[in-house]
Structure 1
């Protein structure tokens, strides 16, 4: 197994987490050395059972981090390259790998190459970095401040290759490629093959919302993509008390696992938090049980381990509620949401004891009447099962006859028969 098969990420949006200013610092303002403070959260990450720190954008940008103006410079609102090096070093000392978030589909209008094109026009050395369109240049999904790069340009491919290698040389373990879905697959194949020549152990995750997930692996050369289909099915099926939707999504998920291990999640920096998305808080354990039992590479979004709430809104500043500032130290979290954190620890513990789950497929045993049960089988015959009662009435389900032991949740499993009895909204994760 590769190191990435053992990875469970704690995902942080640094600009929000560390309370950075909303927009770039004015010229002459002193650097804010905030990044090293993240090292104070490494023990919290490890206590959860995670072993990877997935950082949102940290490079110099105009506002929210996804409008990059310099891929080779840490945003002064967060610190310096030395600050990042210190964080990576302290993480490595605790066995924690660091993932960076790279935006290579588009740049901010203050990006030096684009500023040069605006100043010099067609005579600019960077003229082929951007795509003329109408009276200006192509942008990302209509966002005027986000100028799309020309992925047909060899110079752009060279630039992205250089950026990825620069930070990998400094100890980063992998990359999340923002808006990977908007970039042609041959571009990724070209760039990533060159990067892997020097860094064969790198793990590359692409943001892909819909489409043919497998093509990003087989044709683009990525290792994984964001599993939005499963994310949607988890909360939607629970809200509708419709286990058939989740079972269908698990079938789709199993097909992907034959090719790669998707990144699985119930929350991230772009979506309403799971505790707010679910109509009934009694369904939160069900969502977590699925996340930590099915195949894939799980990620916990900071604050979700404490059942923090936050709704994404489609307006300027509409992401603020889901990208909040965290306390300065773990002790300042207090006991609010501590039971949800303990549940994370329990479920991640089950996963740690069954590392083969990363590529395991599900076998459904009960489906209907608001109930879903499934199991996964390891190479040595070990089994992990999840049994979920979506509804407000007691229910029963079936598992294959075995000596099941309940590891999390609560249920009665009849010895020998595999019959499971669940309370309203009951659930359990069991092993055999």
Structure 2
């Protein structure tokens, strides 16, 4: 179970290129001060956003083998990994292998030498139309001119990716998030991941996939998991639109996925408006109750456990509000932190929730009762979005585990905007 953070913002590193140079500033250590907080939440992994040398926001990489000087150096990375492992915390890195920044030395060679550059095979560009001294007409990622796409049909790109992954797994990383995996052919990953697993058989790989045939993508790519954006969207829309039928529909699809793989689940991340701003602080518990009682490998976006707010805007700097600098040490635990601890504790006590079928026992626009069960027991999640109390079936549950509500026989009465997790 991951605690996901965006290191450049978290540590207060400057993001815009005009405000930094290659001077090494040892900021990565600021994350260490939060590791005990991760353990106290009950989580056992940190999923780091980009930490390799880049031009601006981390996704325009210029050196995959170097820690971004705004964050520190290899020694800082080694200390962070050691401190995490001492606490039983795994470390996941963000692998940006779909594209690089225009300042990447490999692309700069292409700009100087064109098709004759030793690194030309790494990129997709108009070879026939290039003339010395002219800009290179290269493919870019989703219209972002600063992000030059790699050629994933080239063996050289696969070799680079394998080398980068093995380098950081050798240094102690445990897992990789594969950024923009949806933009790359599954066959590329099928040519890369088995080679990495030969050296690191315990490594875990989760791809960022927004939509599509998840099971087929996992099968064809050999990835262990992909991001479950359908469930994320259904949690948000179900709550904000007061239409829990959307959540029920998404859970049917979610159940089908579990027969093939265990998806990477989340209610917030570094690319979207913060959870408390999206659904309202009163409904953060409802969203997290669903996330932590259905199947998947869940992650908590750092700061969501405090119900911090922030709205993503589609403009330069529009991610800043959802990727803020964090305090040097964790603030005192508040009610939202305590509810996260409660819900994560439920999941730790019932590890079979990793791969469990969830039934919808009761459904209305503003109320839902979910039952996730195996032969080892059941976890029941009841939500009430309405501004009035609601009495719902307890689905055989006999013990309150988190939340609020009055359990009476076969029913649970929730207060207005209430929720509860029960066990049997």
TM-score range, shorter chain: over 0.9
* Corresponding position of 1:5: none
Equivalence for 2:309: 309
Name the structure 2 match of 1:171. 172
Of 345, 349, 356 in structure 2, the residue corresponding to residue 353 of structure 1 is 349
Give the whole-Å Cα distance in 1 for the aligned partners of 2:17 and 2:365: 53
The residue number in structure 2 matching 1:400 is 395
Alignment correspondent of 1:389: 384
Shift of residue 249 of structure 1? 0.7
Deviation at 1:284, TM superposition (A): 1.7
Cα distance in 1 for residues equivalent to 2:18 and 2:242: 48
Of residues 8, 11, 18, the one that matches 1:15 is: 8
Following the alignment from structure 2 to structure 1, what is the Cα–Cα distance between the partners of residues 64 and 174? 17
Give the match for residue 327 of structure 2: 327
Distance 2:262 2:198 in 1: 22
> C-alpha displacement at 1:21, in angstroms?
1.4
Q: CA deviation at 1:216?
A: 2.5
Q: Which residue of 1 aligns with 2:421?
A: 429
Quick one: structure 1 residues 27 and 387, their matched pair in 2 at CA, closer, same or farther if it must change by over 3 Å?
closer
Give yes or no for contact 2:110–2:120 (8 Å, CA) kept in 1: yes
Determine the structure 1 residue equivalent to 2:132: none
Q: What corresponds to 1:217 in structure 2?
A: 218
**For residues 29 and 113 of structure 1, what CA distance do their matches in structure 2 show?**
18
Corresponding residue for 1:130? 123
Structure 2 CA distance for aligned equivalents of residues 93 and 264 of structure 1? 26
State the secondary structure of the residue aligned to 2:257.
Answer: helix
Q: Which runs of 5+ in 1 are unaligned?
A: 1-7
1:359-374 to 2 correspondences below 5 Å: 359-374=355-370
Q: Distance in 2 between matches of 1:245 and 1:61?
A: 39
Q: Distance in 2 between matches of 1:38 and 1:427?
A: 33
Q: 1:192 to 1:340 in 2, by over 3 A?
A: same
Q: Distance in 2 between matches of 1:260 and 1:48?
A: 26
Q: How does 1:226-241 map to 2 (within 5 A)?
A: 226-241=227-242
| 2:283 matched residue in structure 1 | 283
The count of corresponding residues between Structure 1 and Structure 2 is 416
* Shift in Å, 1:397: 1.7
Cα gap change, 1:27 to 1:419, in 2 (>3 Å): closer
Matched-pair contact (CA < 8 Å) for 1:207–1:225: yes
Contact 2:22 2:70 in 1 (8 A): no
The TM-score, its normalising length taken from structure 2, stands at 0.95
1:38 aligns with 2:31: yes
Partner of 1:64: 57
The aligned residue for residue 189 of structure 1 is 190
Match of 1:4 in 2: none
CA displacement 1:308-358 (0-9 Å, x = unmatched): 00000001100000000000112xx246xx110011001101111001101
- TM-superposed deviation, 1:242: 1.1
1:152 deviates by 0.7
Structure 2 partner of 1:420? 412
Q: 1:146 to 1:28 in 2, by over 3 A?
A: closer
Q: Distance in 1 between matches of 2:319 and 2:20?
A: 26
Distance in 2 separating the partners of 1:39 and 1:281: 28
Quick check: 2:54–2:60 contact (8 Å CA) kept in 1?
Answer: yes
Q: Is the 8 A contact 2:281 2:307 kept in 1?
A: no
Alignment RMSD:
1.5
> Separation in 2 of the partners of 1:367 and 1:19?
44
CA contact (8 A) 2:245 2:365 kept: no
* Alignment check: 8 A CA contact 1:242 1:390 kept: no
Q: CA deviation at 1:28?
A: 7.2
Structure 1 residue 281: Cα displacement: 3.0
CA contact (8 A) 1:362 1:376 kept: yes
CA distance in 2, matches of 1:40, 1:159: 33
**Structure 2 gaps, min length 5:** 130-135
TM-aligned CA distance change 1:26 to 1:428, over 3 Å: closer
Q: Match of 1:79? A: 72
In 2, the alpha carbon distance for the partners of 1:409 and 1:400 equals: 16
Per the TM alignment, residue 261 of structure 1 is displaced from its structure 2 partner at its CA by 1.1
The two structures have a TM-score, normalised by structure 1, of 0.93
- What are the Cα deviations for residues 136-167 of structure 1, in whole angstroms up to 9, with x where unaligned? 10000010000000001101100001100110
SS in 1 for 2:82: helix
Q: How far is the alpha carbon of 1:282 from its aligned partner?
A: 2.2
